[in-house]
Amino acid sequence: MLRQPDRSTSARLALAAMGLSALVACSSQSPSSTGGGQGDATSPASGAPAGADATSATSAASASASASAEVSASASASASASASASSAAPGTATSTAQALAVTVTGKQVKPAPTTVDLPVGQTLTLTVTSDHDDQLHAHGFEIEKNVKAGTPVAIVLKGAKPGVYQVEMHHPQLTLLSVAVR
């Protein structure tokens, strides 16, 4: 007597779950342009030296090009940290690169940490200048570098596995930015 209603409860729940999964599966196939909002817009990275110390020659060239070329105002505050070269360097056919310079003063990070989009296969050249000796660590990219006070250090992050990864300094523990590889 009691089992009958139970079955209908389960059936209703199962139906609801199945319907939802179908709906979501459909919606996530569509381009998620509304999802990020960050990172696509461009803005001035702080100064031209971005990319000067970069270890990879090709990305250094396109990165510094982008940093000087793209000085348009940013529409979105959250995007203020990224400088995209996708439109600035029409000469480079396939490889597109971004550059970003970050300055650490004590516990302050400039520009303020944000999430930067990095498409799979593209690179982000990150230049870090700190007022104290520290250790730079890009999680997920397996990059660790010692930073000497006042000397800019550049690392090249290449988007590989999709996910969000944080770039940190360790003394004190500071998150400089999150990189969203998609």
Instruction: Give the footprint of other proteins on this chain (CB under 8 A).
Output: 2-3, 5-7, 9-10, 13, 16-17, 20-21, 23-25, 27-30, 32, 34-36, 78, 107-109, 112-115, 135, 137, 139-142, 144-146, 161-166, 168, 170-175, 178, 180, 182
Rounded CA separation 43/45 (Å): 6
H or E stretch including 177? strand 173-181
Rounded distance, CA 123 to CA 143, Å? 14
Q: Which residue has the tokens 């779950």?
A: 17
Q: Which is nearer to other proteins, 92 or 137 (CB)?
A: 137
Pick from 58, 40, 60, 41: which is nearest to 50 by CA? Answer: 60
| Minimum CB distance to other proteins, residue 132 (Å) | 15
Beta carbon of residue 53, minimum distance to other proteins (angstroms, whole number): 17
- Give whichever of 61 and 153 is closer to other proteins, judged by the CB atom: 153
Give the pairing type, strands 173-181 and 153-158: unpaired
In the bound state with other proteins, the residue whose beta carbon lies nearer, of 4 and 93, is 4
**Which burial class, exposed, middle or buried, applies to 153 when counting CB atoms under 10 A from its CB (0-12, 13-18, 19+)?**
middle
Least distance to other proteins, CB of residue 156, Å: 15
Please, what is the minimum distance in Å from the beta carbon of residue 159 to other proteins?
A: 12
- In the complex with other proteins, the residue whose CB is nearer, 74 or 166, is 166
Residue closer to other proteins, measured from CB, 73 or 142: 142
Cis omega (within 30 of 0) for bond into 111: yes
CB of 1 to other proteins, least distance (A): 10
Strands of 49-152, DSSP E = 83-84, 97-105, 108-110, 115-118, 123-130, 134-138, 143-147
